[in-house]
Amino acid sequence: MKRGPFEVTGSKQIYKNPWIEVREDQVIRPSGEKGAFGIVETLPGSAILVLTKDNEVYLVKEFHYAQGLETYELPGGASDPGEDPLETAKRELKEETGIVAKKWTDLGFVNPLTVVLKSPNYMFLAEELEMHEVEDPEADLIKLEKVPLKKALQLVLEGEITHSASVAAILKVARMKGL
């Protein structure tokens, strides 16, 4: 089987759970040499830049186990199998924050690490907001903060926000708003 310029001669699943799969593909490189690629594949996800009419952004601060620290980022999360990225965004936003948006703008997607990780993260701008009850049973682990868009941009530029989809979405919306 061809995968771009590589001939895949075998594939072995190393690990799998409902959220991630790790596999190793044996290949013949374009040069004719044998090689291997290790690939980590996750469920796609969505990140949402929630913007108020006063140009304020909702950020979540949460402990992330893999990083071993609390980080600022936009609300978001993984898609359920077969779920459309916008539906993921709407569901995750309501579950994590209680916010429902009437207006949605697609901001594209990012691939956080293209060499070994397949994990597309779709970004959306959510506006015209309504507040509802938070549905996430672990919502007490999430701190929701509202900051001016200009402050969110500053947090990106100072390296306080490092989640790739959050960085990209904040930069895109800041540019859209002339910051």
* Model pLDDT for residues 27-44, shown as the tens digit of each residue: 999 999 999 999 999 999
Q: Residue 138 has what pLDDT?
A: 64
> What is the spatial distance between Cα 179 and Cα 173, in angstroms, rounded to a whole number?
9
Q: Give the pLDDT confidence score for residue 105 in this predicted structure.
A: 98
Helix/strand/coil percent split, the chain, to 5: 20, 50, 30
pLDDT in tens, 77-104: 999 988 999 999 999 999 888 999 999 9
Q: Which domains does the chain have, with CATH numbers?
A: 2-41 (no CATH), 43-110+120-176 (3.90.79.10)
Q: What is the pLDDT of residue 139?
A: 63
Asked if pLDDT for residue 112 goes beyond 70, the answer is yes
| Per-chain mean pLDDT for the chain | 93
Orientation angle between helical segments 164-176 and 149-157, nearest 10 degrees: 130
Mean pLDDT within 156-168? 96
Minimum mean pLDDT among 62-71, 124-133, 161-170: which range?
62-71
Residues 6+ apart with CB under 8 A from 22: 13, 14, 15, 16, 38, 39, 40, 41
> What pLDDT score was predicted for residue 156?
97
Q: Where are the beta strands (DSSP E) in 65-98?
A: 69-73, 76-78
pLDDT given for residue 132 in this prediction:
82
Question: CA-CA-CA-CA torsion for 114, 169, 20, 83, nearest 10 degrees?
Answer: -120
Helix or strand run (H / E) with residue 157: helix 149-157
Mean pLDDT of 118-147: 85
**pTM to 2 decimals?**
0.89
